[in-house]
Structures are given as structure tokens and as C-alpha cells.
Amino acid sequence: MKPLKNDSYLRALSRQPTDYTPVWMMRQAGRYLPEYKATRAQAGDFMSLCKNAELACEVTLQPLRRFPLDAAILFSDILTIPDAMGLGLYFETGEGPKFERPIASMADVQKIGIPDPEGELGYVMNAVRTIRRELQGEVPLIGFSGSPWTLATYMVEGGSSKAFTKIKKMMYADPQALHLLLDKLADSVTSYLNAQVAAGAQSLMIFDTWGGVLTPRDYNDFSLQYMAKIVDGLTRENEGRRVPVTLFTKNGGQWLEAIAATGCDAVGLDWTINIADAKRRIGDKVALQGNMDPSMLYAPIPRIEQEVATILEGFGEGPGHVFNLGHGIHLDVDPEHAGAFIESVHRLSRPYHAK
């Protein structure tokens, strides 16, 4: 494997000095880019795109051709694991993901097994290997998974949800069934992410999109402890380098200390927390990733630059900041605004790294 030409993202995650604040965007490969729409049309449907290593590689690389991003992220979906468990994933136009056979009981949980990452999920590893080869050492490749709690919400609800009534019913009425499901998911995510590292992923991210819908005690019992179990089981060194792991709980600002205590290298921040507060609370333990509101990319470019400047000032001097949006980029954002965002992070952050 070629040595990395730009390792600023990995260095920032290890809280080592960099020349500027590295930046990438959640969902940077996606629907806001016309070239992505063309490739998606060529694939036929979303999962066909995920399962074709060459096309998944193409859409992973598309944003890097447009923008000087400091990392690539594997193009895939968080629901690959539940799909591989036999729940029958499909996508309804305008409604998002759905499952033909959702989990409704302890018997359903007992039936599912741990997917083989090089078997049922081999298409993801093929994509990782292809992307890593085609990147040619330009920037690091991020592998990822959904958190056990977030995956379980889709599996029990049967798709997206606003109130999470089915999974909360299971949580309170049949907690043993949910704990068994989460335990199986934690084992599945661990083997899945370790296989991504073996295939070439150089950093890992766990997306806990729905952890923020829980009470503080339930967050610890049903989400955080399972992410901590995964962190404990991950390959943390490969190819002579540390493989950093970032945990991101949307609406998780009140639990930053507990997230940082899992042993992760970085904590992802959404836009509902001030980054200066986050740094004061946990910035001497972990790196921070974030945290501009994705909707800010609708603003005129001078306003975007102003927001970038505010967040950089909030973090202040020193290493340990990976700039990102607080969640995924919206599908109707003008790519020019995304480009201006990335350029302004690089330009405006240099004075904070001058020492």
C-alpha cells in the first residue's frame, strides 16, 4: 500500500499537530452532486449501487475530484448488517428504508445470526478494497457502521420512525429481548468494522443517529454500553498506524464525558452544542469532529465563511479538531457552497496551527 500523501485527518484524530484543520462532510458522496445522480441511475437502485464495488468506488471518489477533502468515506449504508441478517431491506420512493420482516419478539431475535463480513457482507469489503486501491494514498479512507441501538430502531420499527414506539415498547416491556438483539448487533458491528480495517479502512466511525431519543439512563444501558463493547473489540492498529475510531451520537451533547470515556479517539458533535464547551469538557481526552449546521450551506457564501470562522475560534488553537457538518449534507445544497465551505476551513484554520 502506498504511504499517505495527506494524513492530516488521521493526525488530527490522534491530537497531533497539523498545518490546518482537516475537513470532510457526512454524506459527502451523495445526492447533492449531479455526477452521483448519474451513477445512481446507471446502477438502477440504491442497494445495487452499494453492492457494485466499481460504482461504489466511483461515487466515493466523486466529491474528492471536486473538493480538496482530507478524507474519503466508504459509500455504503448503515442498514447493510440488518439486511444481511435476513430482514428483507427495501426502499420505498420518498419513504426511505423498510424491512419486510421486522423484529417483534424474543423468538425473532433468537432466529437471527451474526453475518459473515466476507460472506453476506463481502460486497462491502470488495468496495473497501477497490476504493483503497483507487485512492492511491491521496487521503485516508473512513469505514463505518451504525450503532447497535440505531440499527435496532430500524429493525424493530420496520423502517424510519418519528416516535420510536415499537422499540421503546420492547425496551420497557421486554428488555431481555432488546438486550439480546443489541448484543448480537454489537458482535456483528465489531466483526464488520474489523473486516473493513483488514480490507483497507484507515479510520472508523460509528453513527448513533437515534441515541438522542433516549433518557440518560436508557442511553447508557441501551446505546452507550454497546458502543463501548465495540470499541473494546476493534482492531486499533493496522499497516503500522493507529486506526482511530469516532463515536457520533446525534443530540448526545449532554453525554459527552461518558462517550469520551469509552476509549474512542474522537467524539462527533452535532450542531446543538457549542464546540468551545465541548472542548472544555472533553477536549483534553479525545479529538472533536464537527459541528456546523448542515443547513448553513444554504446561506450566502460570506455567511458560510463567517460560521466557519466562529467554529474555528470556538475550538481555538491546537490539534484535535476535524471540521465537519453536524450531520449529513442536505440533498439540495449547491455544490459551490460545499466547495466554499471546504476552502474556507482550510484557509481560515491555518493561523490556529501556526505555532
For the stretch 99-141, pLDDT in tens is 999 999 999 999 999 999 999 999 999 999 999 999 999 999 9
Report, in this order, helix, strand and coil percent for the chain, each rounded to 5. Answer: 50, 15, 35
Q: Which residues are annotated as a binding site for substrate?
A: 27-31, 77, 154, 209, 327
Instruction: Provide the annotated binding site.
Output: 27-31, 77, 154, 209, 327
Low-confidence ranges of the chain (pLDDT < 70): 1-2
Q: What residue segments make up the domains of the chain, in order of their start?
A: 8-353
Show the DSSP H helices in the chain as ranges: 8-13, 34-43, 46-51, 53-66, 80-84, 106-111, 122-135, 148-157, 165-173, 175-199, 216-219, 225-233, 256-260, 275-282, 301-315, 335-349
Q: The domain 8-353: what is its CATH number?
A: 3.20.20.210
Residue 14 to residue 320: CA distance in whole angstroms:
7
Residues carrying an active site annotation: 27, 31, 40, 77, 154
Q: Output 47-54 pairs: Cβ under 8 A, ≥24 positions apart.
A: 47/77, 47/83, 47/89, 47/91, 49/75, 50/75, 50/76, 50/77, 50/80, 50/123, 50/124, 50/127, 51/123, 52/123, 53/123, 53/126, 53/127, 53/129, 53/130, 54/130
Per the rule left: phi > 0, alpha: psi between -120 and 50, beta: everything else, 328 is beta
Q: Residue 62 corresponds to which amino acid?
A: Q
